[in-house]
């Protein structure tokens, strides 16, 4: 039987958004609790494309908060380098909000997950009834690779970017911890009142 508490989920946010998360949890842009001063880190063209993708339950992707199943994703590389018109960011400004599949299930929040980047037409969506097959559905070897260019596997990047999509806002108590790049970022989170035992410094989770 799959141990869902061992399958961690990672959501990247700008450190300037953490104070709002502590007050309101993770919120959608359309939420009544949305962050009016939200600092984006994503590719706007991709965000626009997500709004046109329909999930099997009839909702759009922009009605879900996406998580990855691991760190060091292509999106983070784009943010670090400033590609695709995305402002380059110092890695100490990027924070991972971490939870796990079991916490999402126990929270009773609706969710779906994909076996690749959710915007790709090659990716398939799966629901709660298939969560016990998650380790068979996802390619965790691809997900945990540090890089994703392989002339012998042109689909590697898509599979690496498999997503866990939670519908609606997510209460703060669902977030189990925070990962930061260095002690400078750790100090900033401590100043916001996050307990030290909830913060992990992992430079190797970044580029």
- pLDDT exceeds cutoff 70 at 1: no
**What predicted TM-score, i.e. pTM, was given to this entire model?**
0.96
Report helix, strand or coil for 177: strand
- 110-159 pLDDT, tens digit per residue, is 999 999 999 999 999 999 999 999 999 999 999 999 999 999 999 999 99
Q: Which residues pair with 166 in a beta bridge?
A: 65, 111
**40-92: pLDDT as tens digits:** 998 777 777 898 899 999 999 999 999 999 999 999 999 999 998 899 999 99
SS3 at position 118: coil
Contact between residue 110 and residue 122 where contact means Cβ atoms under 8 Å apart: no
Domain count, the chain: 1
Residue 207 has pLDDT above 80, yes or no: yes
Q: Mean pLDDT score of the chain, rounded to an integer?
A: 96
Domain carrying residue 99:
4-205
- C-alpha distance across the termini of the chain, in Å: 34
């Amino acid at each position: 039987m799959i141990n869902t508490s061992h399958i961690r989920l990672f959501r990247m946010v700008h450190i300037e958004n953490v104070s709002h998360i502590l007050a309101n949890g993770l919120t959608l842009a359309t939420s009544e609790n949305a962050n009016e001063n939200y600092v984006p880190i994503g590719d706007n063209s991709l965000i626009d494309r997500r709004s046109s993708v329909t999930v099997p339950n009839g909702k759009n992707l922009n009605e879900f908060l996406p998580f990855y199943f691991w760190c060091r994703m292509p999106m983070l590389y784009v943010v670090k380098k400033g590609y695709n018109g995305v402002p380059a960011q110092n890695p100490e400004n990027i924070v991972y909000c971490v939870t796990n599949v079991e916490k999402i299930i126990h929270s009773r929040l609706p969710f779906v997950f994909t076996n690749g980047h959710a915007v790709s037409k090659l990716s398939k969506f799966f629901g709660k009834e298939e969560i016990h097959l998650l380790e068979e559905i996802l390619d965790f070897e691809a997900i945990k690779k540090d890089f994703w260019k392989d002339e012998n596997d042109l689909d590697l990047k898509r599979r690496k970017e498999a997503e866990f999509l939670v519908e609606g806002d997510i209460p703060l108590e669902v977030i189990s911890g925070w990962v930061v790049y260095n002690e400078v970022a750790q100090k900033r989170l401590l100043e916001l009142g996050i307990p030290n035992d909830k913060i992990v410094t992992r430079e190797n989770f970044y580029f």
